[in-house]
């Protein structure tokens, strides 16, 4: 039996198909499939390694198959995301000679596959089977899995009903409720579940804190994040690496890079994920050189970078215009670290070369990629074509994107803007009409700024805020100062509509980020940084205005747009006008 137990250990830790086959031979030679249920484990291993044909062959060859054997097969399919195969196996299992009925483990695996596949009909069918089986009253894990599945497919009403009706709730149920509300855009409700979970006396665990940190990001209020940080300290969870990593990531996403760095420095022996999170923070904030230094230090301390580390490192190089460095790391990632570039890395490289004006080189890389280019890769090329006014290549990228993402309006807008920028107004209007015909609408630009424990939202030309008169007065004052002190002229080339120059100027002066900046100047004390979030990318004129404000008003501003952070101080931006 010692032999079998060591074989089981080898199966558990096996990561190569070669070793797996060797182990399979050993089992065939020395023991039977039923010894220590080793056959079931081999089936699981083959599936884990992605060799489902071998798994199925072995499964059919096994002399005896009990419920656990079937569950091993179903669970293996589920982990690979093969929803159809899960159902096929379930049906075969129920029709088999022994007529096995699914138990809670079968349901958990199948529901997992439904979550992965975001599949509505199949999930409902499983819910029906679960109800029929009667496990719902006693198996909290199955209840939680169903709550999660309903939430992930957008049916919060059913999630809440299951949660309310269940008599077997546990901490996982509460944590799931927090997360699914957040995922459905209801961060405030997620926070309410977190508070209730505390109030009823649940002892919060790592997952609870990780969930609430994500909720904080969704709500976007720094004071709330600081409150949760306090709670983490009080609960003694600050020594937990996962939570500390989540916290540093949160501060970075809220524009507080210095706080991220403080949290990172307090982590004892940070692991690869913590190092990577800090690297990601430098990357999105545009501090390319700091990101590289951080990466070199990470390697120096013997921490192995993974494919995510390289995504952020390449993105840092791209955002900071460090072309040579980016190319160097793209090469070394496979040569020195044995990490083969994935789609994300190619997106970063196309972005890096495209932003620097090497459009043809970027296009060549796409053609030479060993895998099919994704929308991210083509999107990076399209963005670069927009910056450098390359209509011809832009059309090629856009056409591919229309195939890959037919329902994403941003690609149509981008192409239309490329046409507008080169004065091809007819083509621009044709593209916008095409977008309308498809029923796609353009997302409205809005900017958010925190003040007095509240997030204030502004849209273009917004007069809805009670302080609007003061805000507009401040905006006028800034414009006057910019004109008189810096000789600034509105960058109306950023208005891509075929209208008169004065109309263009009026449009650009009312952008949501400008209104938010004026509000920040009025409401936020001189010593504080003005932090603004924008859902779309910042426009060129607003970027210039933020630089001017930082100089004239002697203020520090941070603007997070849909892609990255911009830190404005003393008349310049951390992106060095390169974004």
Partner DNA sequence: TGGAGTGGGC
Kindly give the residue spans of alpha helices, DSSP state H, lying in 117-170: 120-133, 140-152, 156-165
CB of 138 to DNA, least distance (A): 10
Q: Which of residues 14-73 bind DNA (CB under 7 A)?
A: 37, 40-41, 44, 66-69, 71-72
Establish if 541 lies at the interface with DNA (CB under 7 A). no
Asked if 78 contacts 52 with a C-beta cutoff of 8 angstroms, the reply is: no
CB of 171 to DNA, least distance (A): 5
CB of 64 to DNA, least distance (A): 8
CB of 323 to DNA, least distance (A): 24
| Stretch of 80-88, 244-252, 355-363, 520-528 lying at the interface with DNA (CB under 7 A) | 244-252
First to last CA, the chain: 63
Radius of gyration of the chain measured on its C-alpha atoms? 28
Could you tell me the two tokens for 139?
């198996």
- What's the CA gap between 461 and 279, in Å, rounded? 37
Nearer to DNA, 283 or 539 (CB): 283
Asked if 233 contacts 196 with a C-beta cutoff of 8 angstroms, the reply is: no
- What's the CA gap between 54 and 45, in Å, rounded? 10
- What's the CA gap between 428 and 414, in Å, rounded? 10
Q: Angle 352-354-356 (CA atoms, 0-180°, nearest 5)? A: 70
Q: x/- string (CB under 7 A) for DNA, residues 140-179?
A: xx--xx--x---------------------xxxx-xx--x
Q: For helices 391-404 and 409-421, what crossing angle results, to 10°?
A: 170
Q: Which of residues 216-235 bind DNA (CB under 7 A)?
A: none
CB of 44 to DNA, least distance (A): 5
- Structure-token match 């031979």, residue found: 25
- What's the CA gap between 123 and 153, in Å, rounded? 9
Nearer to DNA, 104 or 325 (CB): 104
Nearer to DNA, 172 or 377 (CB): 172
| Backbone phi, psi, residue 163, to 5° | -60, -50
| Backbone phi, psi, residue 446, to 5° | -140, 150
Helices and strands, number each (H, E), in the chain: 30, 6
Out of 90, 114, 115, 449, name the contact with DNA by CB under 7 A. 115
- What's the CA gap between 244 and 249, in Å, rounded? 9
Could you tell me the two tokens for 93?
């299992």
CB of 39 to DNA, least distance (A): 8
| Stretch of 88-96, 97-105, 159-167, 352-360 lying at the interface with DNA (CB under 7 A) | 97-105
CB of 405 to DNA, least distance (A): 24
Q: Which pairing describes strands 530-534 and 565-569: parallel, antiparallel, or unpaired?
A: unpaired
Nearer to DNA, 180 or 573 (CB): 180
Out of 125, 273, 369, 421, name the contact with DNA by CB under 7 A. 273
CB atoms inside a 10 Å sphere around CB 561: 21
CB of 503 to DNA, least distance (A): 42
- What's the CA gap between 140 and 509, in Å, rounded? 56
Establish if 261 lies at the interface with DNA (CB under 7 A). no
CB of 199 to DNA, least distance (A): 17
Q: Which pairing describes strands 530-534 and 557-560: parallel, antiparallel, or unpaired?
A: parallel
Establish if 105 lies at the interface with DNA (CB under 7 A). yes
What's the longest Cα–Cα distance across the chain? 90
- What's the CA gap between 277 and 296, in Å, rounded? 15
CB of 282 to DNA, least distance (A): 11
Q: Which of residues 396-435 bind DNA (CB under 7 A)?
A: none
Q: x/- string (CB under 7 A) for DNA, residues 172-191?
A: xx-xx--x------------
Nearer to DNA, 90 or 508 (CB): 90
Nearer to DNA, 309 or 490 (CB): 309
Nearer to DNA, 171 or 421 (CB): 171
| Stretch of 118-126, 274-282, 424-432, 498-506 lying at the interface with DNA (CB under 7 A) | 274-282
CB of 450 to DNA, least distance (A): 21
CB of 85 to DNA, least distance (A): 15
CB atoms inside a 10 Å sphere around CB 239: 12
In whole angstroms, what separates CA 86 from the centre of its chain?
Answer: 28
Nearer to DNA, 69 or 509 (CB): 69
Nearer to DNA, 163 or 363 (CB): 163
CB of 348 to DNA, least distance (A): 14
DSSP per residue, 325-356: HHHHHHHHHHHTT-----HHHHHHHHHHHHHT
Residue 438: strand, helix, or coil = coil
Q: Which of residues 306-325 bind DNA (CB under 7 A)?
A: 306, 308-309, 312
Q: Which pairing describes strands 565-569 and 446-451: parallel, antiparallel, or unpaired?
A: unpaired
- What's the CA gap between 332 and 340, in Å, rounded? 10
Instruction: Indicate the helix (H) or strand (E) that contains 457.
Output: strand 454-459
Q: Angle 188-189-195 (CA atoms, 0-180°, nearest 5)? A: 90
Out of 10, 166, 184, 206, name the contact with DNA by CB under 7 A. 206
Q: By CB under 7 A, how many residues form the interface with DNA? A: 58
Out of 80, 127, 181, 214, name the contact with DNA by CB under 7 A. 214
Asked if 465 contacts 519 with a C-beta cutoff of 8 angstroms, the reply is: yes
CB of 254 to DNA, least distance (A): 14
In whole angstroms, what separates CA 460 from the centre of its chain?
Answer: 27
Establish if 337 lies at the interface with DNA (CB under 7 A). no
Out of 89, 110, 224, 280, name the contact with DNA by CB under 7 A. 280
Establish if 536 lies at the interface with DNA (CB under 7 A). no
Binding site for DNA (CB under 7 A): 37, 40-41, 44, 66-69, 71-72, 75, 79, 103-106, 108-109, 111-112, 115, 139-141, 144-145, 148, 170-173, 175-176, 179, 205-208, 210-211, 214, 241-242, 244-246, 249, 271-274, 276-277, 280, 306, 308-309, 312
């Amino acid at each position: 039996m010692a032999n079998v137990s060591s074989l089981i250990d080898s199966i558990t830790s096996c990561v190569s198909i070669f070793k797996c086959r060797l182990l399979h031979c050993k089992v065939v030679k020395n023991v039977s499939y039923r010894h220590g249920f080793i056959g079931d484990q081999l089936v699981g291993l083959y599936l884990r390694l992605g060799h489902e044909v071998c798994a199925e062959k072995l499964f059919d060859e096994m002399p005896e198959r009990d419920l656990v054997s079937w569950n091993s097969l179903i669970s293996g399919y589920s982990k690979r995301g093969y929803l159809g195969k899960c159902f096929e196996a379930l049906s075969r299992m129920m029709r088999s000679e022994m007529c096995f009925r699914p138990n809670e483990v079968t349901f958990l695996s199948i529901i997992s596959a439904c979550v992965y596949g975001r599949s509505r009909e199949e999930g409902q069918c499983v819910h029906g089977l679960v109800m029929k089986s009667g496990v719902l009253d006693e198996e909290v894990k199955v209840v939680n899995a169903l709550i999660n599945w309903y939430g992930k497919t957008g049916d919060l009403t059913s999630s809440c009903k299951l949660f309310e009706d269940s008599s077997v709730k546990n901490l996982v149920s509460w944590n799931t409720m927090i997360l699914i509300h957040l995922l459905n855009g209801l961060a405030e409700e997620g926070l309410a579940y977190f508070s209730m979970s505390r109030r009823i006396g649940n002892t919060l665990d790592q997952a609870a804190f990780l969930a609430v940190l994500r909720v904080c990001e969704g709500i976007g209020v720094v004071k709330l994040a600081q409150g949760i940080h306090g709670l983490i300290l009080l609960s003694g969870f600050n020594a937990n690496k996962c939570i500390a990593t989540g916290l540093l990531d949160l501060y970075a996403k809220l524009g507080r890079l210095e706080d991220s760095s403080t949290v990172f420095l307090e982590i004892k022996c940070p692991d690869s994920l913590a190092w990577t999170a800090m690297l990601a923070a430098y990357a999105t904030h545009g501090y390319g050189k700091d990101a590289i230094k951080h990466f070199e230090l990470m390697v120096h301390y013997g921490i192995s970078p993974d494919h995510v580390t390289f995504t952020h490192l390449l993105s840092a190089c791209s955002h900071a215009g460090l072309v040579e460095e980016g190319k160097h790391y793209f090469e070394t990632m496979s040569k020195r670290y044995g990490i083969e570039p994935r789609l994300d890395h190619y997106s970063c490289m196309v972005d890096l070369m495209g932003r620097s004006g090497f459009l043809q080189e970027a296009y060549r890389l796409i053609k030479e990629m060993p895998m099919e280019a994704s929308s991210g890769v083509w999107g990076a090329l399209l963005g670069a074509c927009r910056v450098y006014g390359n209509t011809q290549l832009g059309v090629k990228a856009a056409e591919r994107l229309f195939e890959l993402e037919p329902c994403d309006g941003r690609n149509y807008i981008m192409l239309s803007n490329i046409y507008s920028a080169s004065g091809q107004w007819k083509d621009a209007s044709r593209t916008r009409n095409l977008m309308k015909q498809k029923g796609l609408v353009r997302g409205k630009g809005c900017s958010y700024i925190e003040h007095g424990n509240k997030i204030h939202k502004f849209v273009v030309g917004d007069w809805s805020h009670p302080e609007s008169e003061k805000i507009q007065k401040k905006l006028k004052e800034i414009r006057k100062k910019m004109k008189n002190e810096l000789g600034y002229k509105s960058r109306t080339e950023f208005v891509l509509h075929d209208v008169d120059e004065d109309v263009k100027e009026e449009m650009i002066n009312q952008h949501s980020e400008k209104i938010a900046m004026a509000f920040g100047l009025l409401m936020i004390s001189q010593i504080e940084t003005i932090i603004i979030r924008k859902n779309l990318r910042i426009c060129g004129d607003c970027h210039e205005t933020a630089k001017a404000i930082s100089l004239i008003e002697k203020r520090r501003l941070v603007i997070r747009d849909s892609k990255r952070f911009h830190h404005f101080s003393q008349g310049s931006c951390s992106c060095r006008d390169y974004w």
